[in-house]
Amino acid sequence: MKTPGQGLTREEILHEMGFAPLWRLRTPLAANPPGAAGQPALAAPGEVTADTSSSGEAAPGAAEAGRAARIAHMDWPELQASVAACRACQLCSERRQAVLGVGDVHADWLFVGEAPGAEEDARGEPFVGPAGKLLDAMLAAIDLRRGDDVYIANAVKCRPPRNRTPEAGEMAACAPYLQRQIALIQPRLIVLLGRAAAQALLGEIGPLGSLRGRSLSFSPPDGSARPIPLVVTYHPAYLLRTLPDKAKAWEDLCRARALMRTLQ
Ligand code: URA
C-alpha cells in the first residue's frame, strides 16, 4: 500500500481523508490573510489567550515547581531520559514505555495530540495506529510529512489505561515536558489536535468547536519567547468516528497553512 505523501496524488490524499473531490479552496489563501476583514488576527503580545496556569490545576507545590524548573532547563537527551524514567503520575505503572515525540526538532510545525494508545505504547512513537494513519493523510493534504519540518507530540506521554481520557493531574504532571518541547523546538505554529491538547496549552476550555477558527496563541510560561500561534482542530481518532467533521478539519488545516505562510 502506498503511504500518504509518498507517491499519492493530491486526489488520492484527499480521498484517503474522505474529502475528495469536494474540498477545494474557494478563495486564494494569500488574498485572505489572518487579520483581513472577516478573519481573526493573531493575538498580539500581551493579548495572549493561552492560560499557562493550566500546567498546574492548583498552585503547584514547591516540589512540583522545582521539578518544572529542572525540566525547563533540559536539553533533548535529558528530556528523553527524564520522560522515560518519569514517575510523576500513576500512568507510569501501566505503560510499556513513555512516548516523548517524533520528528524534526527544528520544525516550524508542531502537532500535539492527546496521549499514546496501545500501538504508540508498544512502538514508542506517537500516532502510529489508525489515528496516526489519518494524521499522516492530513499532513500530506497540506504538503507536510512526518519528520520533515514537522514534530508530533502528545499532551501526555504515557498511555492511559484502556485509552481513557487523561485526568487533570496527569495532564498537569506532563505539562512541563510539553512546554520544554515547545521551548526547544520553537515552532512557528502549533496545531492542537482535540480537547486534551487544547486544554494542555489553553487551560479549561468550552466546547472544542468554539475554539476553531479563533485567533489563539501560546506564551511560554517564562516569557522567554514570543507567543506562538495556535490552531485548534479535531483529533484524528474523533474524525475516524465522525466523518462529517472531516470537512471542518480540512478547513482548519487550510487555515493553518495560510497562517504559516504569513509567518514565514
Ligand atoms: N492519539 C493521540 O492523541 N496520540 C497518539 O500518539 C496516538 C493516538
What does the pLDDT look like over 171-219, one tens digit per residue? Answer: 999 999 999 999 999 999 999 999 999 999 999 999 999 999 999 999 9
Residue 252 has pLDDT above 60, yes or no: yes
Output the pLDDT for position 222.
78
Per-residue confidence band for 12, with pLDDT thresholds at 50, 70 and 90: low
> How large is the C-alpha radius of gyration of the chain?
18
CA distance 204 to 47: 18
Residue 21 has pLDDT above 70, yes or no: no
Q: Probe ligand 1: pick from 139, 154, 174, 199, max atoms within 8 Å of CB?
A: 154
Whether 115 lines ligand 1, by a CB cut-off of 6 Å, is: yes
CB 158 within 8 A of CB 86: yes
Q: Tell which wins on pLDDT, 257 or 46.
A: 257
Which is the closest atom of ligand 1 to the Cα of 120? 6
CA of 26 to the centre of ligand 1 (A): 31
Quick one: average pLDDT of 14-34?
40
Whether 237 lines ligand 1, by a CB cut-off of 6 Å, is: yes
Output the pLDDT for position 61.
86
CA distance 17 to 239: 9
Segment 34-59, tens digit of pLDDT? 333 323 223 322 222 333 344 444 45
Segment 61-118, tens digit of pLDDT? 899 999 999 999 999 999 999 999 999 999 999 999 999 999 999 999 999 999 999 9
Whether 155 lines ligand 1, by a CB cut-off of 6 Å, is: no
Comparing C-alpha atoms, which of 172, 132, 122, 137 is closest to residue 152?
132
How would you classify residue 194: left for phi > 0, otherwise alpha for psi between -120 and 50, otherwise beta?
left
Residue 2 has pLDDT above 90, yes or no: no
**DSSP classification of residue 148:** B
Residue 8 has pLDDT above 70, yes or no: no
Output the pLDDT for position 223.
78
